[in-house]
Homo-oligomer: A and B are copies of this chain.
Amino acid sequence: MPDRKTLDVVGIGNAIVDVLVHVDDDQIDNFGLTKGTMALVDEAQAEALYAQLGPGLETSGGSAANTLAGIAQLGGRAGFIGRVRDDQLGGIFAHDIRAVGTRYETPAARDGASTARCLILVSADAQRTMCTYLGASVGLDPGDLDLEMVAQAKVLYLEGYLWDSDEAKQAFIAAAEVAKANGAEVALSLSDAFCVERHRDSFLALVDGHVDILFANEMEITSLYRANSFEEAAEQVRGRCRVAALTRSELGSVILSGDERYAVEPFKLGALVDTTGAGDLYAAGFLHAYTQGESLERCGQIGSLCAGQVVTQLGPRPQVDLKQLVQQHLGAPAL
């Protein structure tokens, strides 16, 4: 990767404010939701659901946004592209991602739908079930893209959730072309098993044709290849992209690249509080190490450590010093 790049990772994703609410499993059933997944709702559904929920805690979120915030916290040069409205939640989103040092310059929309919200129902076992109102974020179109920023990145990172919006999908494809033309690698997170179900064919084509680094959890990768087991899915994805980083919750993660395979242990740093952001922070740690030229195994370890931290707290943005955490558990990089 050439030195002249001024950014390590640029991400494109939905710009979302999370509303975290504690629930019991009965409530999730009563709402007709499937535990551990993300469902899309419109504004009226979001309001109706919110009205039935207990008190919440609001925090900036969004899958790729969490990843880019994490990269900045790790000391990486990070940029994010995503669309908010010029409302209070939009202001909170923009503040928080900039406050950790992520470049964020997408202009806030002056009219139209309000800033996206995700109601995150946190169960007693720390699992999260999400209902997302995409609001202003789906209006992201190629015109909103800061292509200069994309051109400056070593890696362009995309969340699979973008596929739920035609405009955002077009914006992504445009950005991927600019990234490729500028020698960047393209990374994709599959985001959610139901998201894979909704967009399997286009994800399959994308992985084969455009993706250098793929992030997926066990459910997502088995869904993508309609595999009967994790190992079967791992065999399917091998060789289709340069690197596949497959996360398996308490089983840790597996990294595949050509003939190489690394198994990475999970980190248990405390009681499990809320799994929101686990995958996002795995990608943050992995990509930060990757763009610093570290080994794939160490990329996985740093990803695993960041994921292990975020599940011990409420919300998807680490409330600790990630740099210090890495130093403490994994020592200085081999560089």
User: Quick one: which of A54, A57, A115, A315 has the most chain B CB within 10 A?
Assistant: A57
- Select one of B55, B87, B314, B319 contacting A60, CB under 8 A: B55
**A interface SS class:** mixed
The reply to whether B92 and A58 contact each other, CB–CB distance below 8 Å, is yes
Indicate if the CB atoms of A57 and B57 lie closer than 8 Å: yes
Question: Complex Cα distance A22/B89, Å?
Answer: 20
A114 and B91 CA atoms in complex are apart in Å by 13
CA distance A111 to B54 in the complex (A): 28
Task: Tell which of B22, B50, B56, B319 touches A22, judged by Cβ atoms closer than 8 Å.
Answer: B319
Contacting residue for A100 out of B55, B59, B97, CB 8 A: B55
- Chain B hits for A59, CB < 8 A: 56-58
Asked if A110 is an interface residue, CB under 8 A from chain B, the answer is: no
The chain B residue sitting closest to A115, CB to CB, is: B88
**Closest CB-CB distance, A113 to chain B, in whole Å?**
13
Tell me, in angstroms, the Cα distance from A57 to B20 when the chains sit together: 11
Please name the residue on chain B nearest to A314 by beta carbon. Answer: B314
In the complex, residue of chain B having the shortest beta-carbon distance to the beta carbon of A87: B88
Q: Mark A15-53, 1 if CB is under 8 A from B, else 0.
A: 000010010000000000000000000000000001101
Complex Cα–Cα for A99 and B21 (A): 11
Q: With an 8 A cutoff between CB atoms, is A141 at the interface?
A: no
Cα–Cα distance between A87 and B95 once the two chains are bound (Å): 18
1/0 contact trace for A89-121 toward B, CB 8 Å? 100100111011000000000000011000000
Docked complex Cα distance between A53 and B99 (Å): 7
Count of identical protomers in the assembly: 2
Number of A residues contacting the other chain (C-beta, 8 Å)? 28
Per the bound structure, the CA–CA distance linking A95 and B47 in Å amounts to 10
A317: Cβ under 8 A from any B Cβ: yes
Would you call A71 an interface residue if the criterion is a C-beta within 8 Å of the partner chain's C-beta atoms? Answer: no
Q: Are B50 and A95 in contact (CB under 8 A)?
A: yes
- Chain B residues with CB below 8 A from A115, complex form: 88
Residue of B nearest to A59 (CB): B57
CA separation between A58 and B54, bound complex, in Å?
15
A202 to B12, CA, bound (A): 56
Residues of chain B lying within 8 A (CB to CB) of residue A19: 92
Is A168 part of the contact surface with B, judged by Cβ < 8 Å?
no
Query: What would be 25 A-B contacts, judged by CB atoms less than 8 Å apart?
Result: A19-B92, A22-B319, A50-B95, A51-B95, A53-B99, A54-B99, A54-B100, A55-B60, A55-B95, A55-B100, A55-B317, A56-B59, A56-B92, A56-B95, A56-B96, A56-B99, A57-B58, A57-B59, A57-B315, A58-B58, A58-B59, A87-B88, A88-B114, A88-B115, A314-B314
Query: With contacts A50-B95, A88-B114, A88-B115 known, what are 10 further pairs, Cβ within 8 A?
Result: A54-B99, A55-B95, A55-B96, A55-B99, A55-B100, A56-B99, A58-B58, A58-B92, A87-B88, A88-B88
A residues at B contact (CB < 8 Å): 19, 22, 50-51, 53-60, 69, 87-89, 92, 95-97, 99-100, 114-115, 314-315, 317, 319
The 5 tightest CB contacts between A and B, nearest first, are A58-B58, A55-B96, A88-B88, A55-B99, A54-B99
